[in-house]
Amino acid sequence: MEKIGKYQVARKLGEGATSEVYLCRDPFADREVAIKVVFPDSLTDDENRNLFRKLFITEASLAGKLAHPHVVQIYDAVVDEGISYVVMEYVDGGTLEPHCNPDALLPLDKIVEIVFKCTRALDFANRAGVVHRDIKPANILLHGETDIKISDFGSALITTSMVTQVSGIGSPAYMSPQQIKEHPLTFQTDIYSLGVVMYQLLTGQLPFQASNNFSMMYQITNVEPQPPSSLRPDIPPALDRIVHKAMQKELEQRYQDWDEFSDDLSALISSEQAAQKKEDFADSEKFNILRGLPFFAHFGDAELWEVMRISGWEYCKPGKALMFEGQTGDFFCLLASGEVKVIKQGKLLNILNTGECFGEMAYISRASGSMRSADVVALSDSRVITIHNADLDRASDVCRHKFDRAFMAILVERLSLSNTRLIGV
C-alpha cells in the first residue's frame, strides 16, 4: 500500500485482530501521522459488524475533541465503502508493556510520575464526557523517561452521546468489578484499571493470577490482592495505600475523583524530593505549583502542561540577582515561592510574594532591546519560573491568549492601585 487517501505510506507499524496501523506523511500539515485502517471484513461480517462499526465510530467521533498533551490526538476519520480509517498523532515510542516485565521495571519515582500524568489526562477526558474503559499498558504510549500518551479510545463510553454504547468490552485483567458485573460505569472504572496498571508497573505482575477469564473475573470481584510491597520490598507504605485505594472493589471506598488520586501521587513525590533535597522539579510538582498560582487561574490543564514545557525553573538563594536595572530583557519571571525585592537606584520600591510576576514589560511592550527599569533580588529562598519571549511566541494561540488576559488583569490592578493612591493624596 503506497497511499491511504491523501496520506503517503512510509511503513507498516503493526496490526491487531480488526485493523492495521501505518506510519504515513500528511502532505498538507507536513507531519508524520499514524493511520489505523480497519479490515474490511470487520465492518461487513454479520456477526461482528455492529460491534466493530460502533467501536470505529466511537473513536472517529472524538476527532479534534480531546486536545491534551497526554492524549493521542485524533486528526481525521474516513468511513468509505472501499476503506475506513482513523488518522492519529504519531508517537515515537513504545507502550508500557515492556516495563511490566520483572526484569525491566522502572524506578518508583518514574512510575509515580507516569501514573500522575495518566490521572490528569483521564480527568481531562472525563470532563469532556469520555470514560476510556480499556486502560491497560498496551494503550499507554511512553515517550522519553516519563512522558505518556493515552491511546485507543475505541472502547470509550461517551456520556454525552445519544448513541447506545457497547457493553461488555475491555481487557478482563484490567476490568473493574463494576465492568465485569456490567453495572453502569463512570470514570471510577478507569481509576480501578489505572490502579491495576500501577500495580503491574511496580511489581512486574498482575494483582490477580488466573489460567482463564472466568477465574480472573471471580478474583477481581471477590479476592483482595496482596500489597505491591510484598513483591517489591522498596515500595513505601504510602504507595501501597494509593494502589489499594485505586483498586477498591466498592465505589464508595475507591478514589472519588481524579484530583484526589493525583494529589496523593504528587504528595508522595513532593515528600520524596524534600527528603532528598533535590533541586530539580518533577513534572507533577511543576503542574501543581502552576495550578495553585492565581496568575494561572484561567488556564486549563492543556495550557498548564504547555507552560511547563516552555519555562525554566530554578531555586534561588537569598541575595541572588534575577534582573538588573538597565539590562536588556527578553524574558519575564513568576515567583513560585518565596519573596523578591525590587530596587531602583538603590531604593526599595516593592517586595513581591509567591504568585506575582516581574519583568513582564519585556513581553508586553514588545519593544526591541527593552531595558529593565529596576533590579530584582531574591529576598528569601525562592523558586522562580522564567519564560523567554521567543518561547511564548511559539506557544499555541490559546496559551498566548491566556497570558495576555492574565497580564491585562495585572495592569488593570496596578492602574487601579495608582489611582487610589493619587486620590488619597
- 113-139 burial by CB neighbour count: b if 16+ within 10 A, else e? bbbbbbbbbbbbbbebebbbbbbbbbb
The CA-based diameter of the chain, rounded to the nearest angstrom, is 84
C-alpha cell at 266: 504528587
C-alpha cell at 78: 474516513
Cα(194)–Cα(184) distance, rounded to whole angstroms?
Answer: 18
The answer to whether 340 and 377 have CB atoms below 8 angstroms apart is: yes
DSSP string, 303-322: HHHHHHHHEEEEEE-TT-EE
Cα(273)–Cα(97) distance, rounded to whole angstroms?
Answer: 27
C-alpha cell at 213: 477469564
DSSP string, 55-118: HHHHHHTTTTT---TTB--EEEEEE-SS-EEEEEE--SS-BSGGGGSGGGPPPHHHHHHHHHHH
Cα(417)–Cα(390) distance, rounded to whole angstroms?
Answer: 31
Hey, is 164 helix, strand or coil? coil
**Alpha-carbon separation of residue 386 from 268, 319, 392, 394 (angstroms):** 26, 18, 11, 15
Give which of 118, 69, 71, 89 is closest to 26, Cα–Cα: 89
Q: Which of 123, 134, 152, 283 is catalytic?
A: 134
At residue 342, what are phi and psi to the nearest 5 degrees?
-110, 125
Catalytic residue status for 134: yes
The answer to whether 252 and 178 have CB atoms below 8 angstroms apart is: no
The answer to whether 123 and 259 have CB atoms below 8 angstroms apart is: yes
Cα(144)–Cα(318) distance, rounded to whole angstroms?
Answer: 35
Query: What residues act catalytically?
Result: 134
